[in-house]
Amino acid sequence: MCIVISVVDDLPKIAIWDPAEVSILVARGTATGELMREVAAILTIDLGAPASVDDRFVCFCGALVELPGELTALVAVDSSWEPV
């Protein structure tokens, strides 16, 4: 089972875990570094996934978690965040 990351509008927090959909919902428009740190914390602290590999996230099953295209472009431009 692998986690999916989805970008949504009108989210009350930067990022939240949605166990029903096995996904992490992230707020559109949040600063990239802050958003990526929040996703990393959800994966590693809340879900027990291993630490990030390079600048990529890892699922608790060991598979790489892919970012949606909208975030991939932002991360490529913003190198201010560092994996956990």
What is the tens place of the pLDDT at every residue in 33-74? 888 899 999 999 999 999 876 778 899 888 999 888 888 777
- At residue 78, the pLDDT reads 62
What pTM, to 2 d.p., does this model score?
Answer: 0.81
- At residue 84, the pLDDT reads 47
Confidence of residue 81 (pLDDT cuts 50, 70, 90): low
HSE-CB of 31 using CA atoms within 13 angstroms:
6
Q: DSSP assignment, residue 35? A: H
Task: State the burial class of residue 66 (Cβ atoms within 10 Å of its Cβ: 0-12, 13-18, 19+).
Answer: middle
pLDDT at residue 82 is higher than 80? no
